[in-house]
Amino acid sequence: MRNWILTIGLALTVGMAAQAAPKPSNHLTGEYVEARTASVFAGACHFNGELTTTGRAAEVVWHVREGAWNGTSLDGLTAMAAIVSSSNLREEAAPRRSVLYIDAKATPAQAESLAAALTQRCAHALGEIVAIKRTPITFALQGEDYRVDAKGIGRLVVNAMPNHECCKQPNLVWYSPLVTISGRRVGYTRVSGIQDKTLGADWSKEGQNTAFYGTFTL
């Protein structure tokens, strides 16, 4: 009888401790999509032709499905980054510069927390952040089709490749996403581009397999 009472008491103590344990304050997960100025899935000749002449800029989007940072909920918010380099972004050591755009609907506290999460956890991808700006950003995902519009900055329309060819021919995938993601796919970019005077970026590219997408976790 005594052992039974002790067992029940221990179980209750463990259960109460588990309920009282604070949830991690820094955890985000959601949708990620990027597009570059070079094809990430192509034939060898196409890849080699672009390697030293382009691929020096990218447009990157994070859409927070759920999570909080520094105790602030960031559910449903979107951020975009414009990234440029003097070399193809395939070169890990190449210096990079970026501008980070935070959705205008975020509160000041949310904007600060989202910027902190991305600058801390995606520092290598972003390189030197020359500015953090607020702008209206719309994000839509239907199936595996992405539509993003950052007012006055850029648009991104990416569709899934037919039959997920990137999985059937992995030898034709020449790059890795700039950010670690799960469920990585190559996407067909219908529209992409960035115009930002601070960064000196003004580019557009469409109609090629220049995109990656998947799920990010910070």
Q: Which top CATH class is 23-217?
A: mainly beta
What pLDDT is attached to residue 95?
92
Distance CA 122, CA 98 (A): 11
Distance CA 153, CA 196 (A): 6
What pLDDT is attached to residue 213?
97
Distance CA 185, CA 73 (A): 28
CA-CA-CA-CA dihedral for 208, 209, 210, 213, to nearest 10: 140
Number of Cβ within 10 Å of residue 48's Cβ equals 11
Number of Cβ within 10 Å of residue 129's Cβ equals 18
Residue 112's pLDDT band (boundaries 50, 70, 90)?
Answer: very high
**Per-residue pLDDT at 185 exceeds 90:** yes
**Per-residue pLDDT at 138 exceeds 80:** yes
What pLDDT is attached to residue 3?
42
**Per-residue pLDDT at 191 exceeds 50:** yes
The structural domains of the chain, with segments of one domain joined by +, span: 23-217
Distance CA 140, CA 14 (A): 43
Task: Please state, in angstroms and as integers, the Cα–Cα distance from residue 16 to each residue in 11, 19, 58, following that order.
Answer: 9, 5, 48
Residue 20's pLDDT band (boundaries 50, 70, 90)?
Answer: very low
* DSSP classification of residue 171: G
Structure tokens at 108: 């000041």
**Per-residue pLDDT at 6 exceeds 70:** no
pTM recorded for the entire structure? 0.86
Mean pLDDT across 141-155: 95
What pLDDT is attached to residue 58?
97
- Per DSSP, what are the bridge partners of residue 214? 32
Per-residue pLDDT of 51-109, as tens digits, reads 788 889 999 999 999 999 999 999 999 999 999 999 999 998 889 999 999 999 999 99
Residue 140 in 3-state DSSP? strand
What pLDDT is attached to residue 167?
64
Distance CA 109, CA 97 (A): 25
